[in-house]
Amino acid sequence: MNFTFDVQNIIDGQGISIAITGMVIVFFALTFISLFITALPHILALFARRWPESEGHHTTRAAAPAQQAVSDEVVAAIAMVLHQRRQA
């Protein structure tokens, strides 16, 4: 087989028009996606107004003690132990 690479082959095969059509399609698809992402908070706000989340489906523990704040030293110690165990 003898392949010849020439600009005329691209023109004869409508390569330029196919490439431009593909670029236009990709441009509009990406524009649509970005507009959808931009409008998503507004769309979700409309859904939340129409169908609000039900309150009270979560159970709470009345007898559970209040959570205590964990100090930075405790977090650092836990991180050190996890790091040492992963190194072993």
Q: Is the pLDDT at 67 greater than 80, yes or no? A: no
Task: Say what the pLDDT of residue 66 is.
Answer: 53
Q: Is the pLDDT at 31 greater than 90, yes or no? A: yes
The DSSP call for residue 22 is H
Task: Say what the pLDDT of residue 11 is.
Answer: 81
Task: Say what the pLDDT of residue 13 is.
Answer: 82
Q: Is the pLDDT at 38 greater than 50, yes or no? A: yes
Structure tokens at 13: 């095969």
Task: Say what the pLDDT of residue 23 is.
Answer: 97
All residues at 6 or more sequence positions from 10 whose CB lies less than 8 Å from its CB, including other chains? 16
- Which of 47, 28, 51 has the alpha carbon at shortest distance from 39? 47
Task: Say what the pLDDT of residue 63 is.
Answer: 47
